[in-house]
Amino acid sequence: MTSSLSWLDYSDAERRAALDVIELFRDRDTRDELGLGSIRDGFAEHFFPGTSTIQTRVAYFLFIPWIYRSLEQQHAGRANVADRARKAELDLIEPLLADGDPEGVIGARVRRSLKRLPSDVYWQGLAAWGIRLYPGSRDQYLRRLANLSVDQRGSVDDDGEPLADATAAVHWHPGLPDPPEGFPGECSLRLRPEDRTYLTERVLLGRPRGTLLAWLVEHGRQSNIPFPWEHPDLARFPRETIDDLNQARMLSAVMHGAPLLYNLLLARRLVWEEKIEEFEQRLSDWTRSLTLEAGGEPGRWDLAELWQTVDRTPATVTAPTRAFIERWARLVVEEQDLSNSVRARELISSRERQVKGPMGARLHSEAALHLWGGDAGTARMNYRWAIAQRFINDLVPPDARS
């Protein structure tokens, strides 16, 4: 029997969340097996708003409005505008690959069989950065565009402000730079100076203003580090950002042990000796690294400060999730050997059942257990730092130094 996932057309955010779940299942290390996604994503949006784990390069923040602004100008009011939009986005793939910078080209592997278009991946981010002014979903926008008359194509005055009789048709930030000559037949993921200036202004003046993303774009440098708290300019971050980042770091460090133990329990259920040995070693390594990261005293982590920090993020943390985090944090301090702790095993088992239900929980269902591929949800939380760092590296010139 083939499984499927469907949803009603409530909102673009809900639709994107469902599609993100599908994408995450393609990467066995990043799945949210124990229900920590809400607090993880809340911190990620707090530090790096408008980003998503399935975004690739910052240039798509320009490609999409360029394509759709052109459609508005040339094909408004036509019933097939959605088909034209899809074709235009797919037409980006080959020129980008030919440009010689293939890393991050959406659709590089599947070419014109691409299912999830760049506009779908970046739609929410375009609004967060103040580039997309139209408030609805991409599907709503396309339906509107199909019904848009020729005289509603977003006229603006000499100051770039929408004319009164055309306000409803202004869908994109009026300061958007023009695309390079030859676009989209000729395009590049590398930014022109005017592109870099515009996107930097959007980050600094839009919703990301005052965030870690904005600070790094304005003051930072190019980097290649696994976590934001390892940044060489950490000491120069705003004080509140440092405090928030410290809480995010401790959450990431302490909770990393929970999915490692979960995978160890699965390996033991299956009597998979190779994986038992692997996860016993990884759990042991985590214990040593946690002691170092917590300054030798994991018990000094103030959970009250964590929840105060969470209240400043968009996260909605349920009471069961909060209880799970607090109980695990106590076990980390109280138990000498978590790999053989009855309390820890019971906590992980009950949490998985709580999150997935009895039929989906691998520790409770034989059918679900045998779907485990040997590693599920073990990536340490980095709060979308990988994509944020790529955006920052795209926006900050290579020779820039703070």
Q: Per the domain annotation, does 203 fall within a domain? A: no
At 290, the amino acid letter reads L
Instruction: Give yes or no: residues 72 and 44 share one domain.
Output: no
Q: What is the mean pLDDT of the chain?
A: 87
Domain span holding position 166: 60-190
pLDDT band at 313 (very low <50, low <70, confident <90, very high): very high
> Is 60 exceeded by the pLDDT of residue 246?
yes
Percent with pLDDT over 90 in the chain: 75
Q: Per the domain annotation, does 142 fall within a domain? A: yes
Instruction: Give yes or no: residues 234 and 358 share one domain.
Output: yes
At 164, the amino acid letter reads A
For residue 181, what pLDDT is reported? 94
Instruction: Give yes or no: residues 251 and 170 share one domain.
Output: no
Lowest mean pLDDT among 7-11, 31-35, 330-334, 374-378: 7-11
For residue 291, what pLDDT is reported? 82
User: How many domains in the chain?
Assistant: 2
Instruction: Give yes or no: residues 177 and 262 share one domain.
Output: no
Instruction: Give yes or no: residues 19 and 110 share one domain.
Output: no
> Is 50 exceeded by the pLDDT of residue 88?
yes
Render pLDDT for 188-229 as a digit per residue (tens, 0 to 9). 999 999 999 999 999 998 766 789 999 999 997 899 999 999
Provide, for the chain, the percentages of residues in helix, strand and coil under a 3-state DSSP scheme, each rounded to the nearest 5. Answer: 55, 0, 45
For residue 18, what pLDDT is reported? 47
Instruction: Give yes or no: residues 154 and 254 share one domain.
Output: no
Instruction: Give yes or no: residues 179 and 146 share one domain.
Output: yes
Six-digit token string for 57: 């390069």
Instruction: Give yes or no: residues 327 and 357 share one domain.
Output: yes
Q: Per the domain annotation, does 369 fall within a domain? A: yes
For residue 14, what pLDDT is reported? 52
- pTM assigned to the model: 0.85
For residue 147, what pLDDT is reported? 84
Lowest mean pLDDT among 3-12, 61-70, 138-147, 358-367: 3-12
349 and 364 Cβ atoms separated by less than 8 Å? yes
For residue 299, what pLDDT is reported? 72
Q: How long, in residues, is the chain?
A: 402
For residue 242, what pLDDT is reported? 96
Instruction: Give yes or no: residues 25 and 65 share one domain.
Output: no
Last residue of a domain, which of 133, 156, 190? 190
> What is d(CA 69, CA 330) in angstroms, rounded to the nearest whole number?
54
> Is 70 exceeded by the pLDDT of residue 16?
no
Q: Per the domain annotation, does 197 fall within a domain? A: no
Q: Per the domain annotation, does 201 fall within a domain? A: no
For residue 31, what pLDDT is reported? 82
Average pLDDT over every residue of 230-246: 96
Render pLDDT for 117-137 as a digit per residue (tens, 0 to 9). 999 999 999 999 999 999 999
> Is 90 exceeded by the pLDDT of residue 155?
no
Last residue of a domain, which of 163, 190, 217? 190
Instruction: Give yes or no: residues 319 and 266 share one domain.
Output: yes
Q: Per the domain annotation, does 243 fall within a domain? A: yes
Contacts of 6 (CB under 8 A, 6+ apart): none
For residue 23, what pLDDT is reported? 45
Separate counts of helices (H) and strands (E) for the chain: 17, 0
For residue 80, what pLDDT is reported? 81
> Is 60 exceeded by the pLDDT of residue 107?
yes
Instruction: Give yes or no: residues 246 and 328 share one domain.
Output: yes
Q: Per the domain annotation, does 1 fall within a domain? A: no
For residue 10, what pLDDT is reported? 45
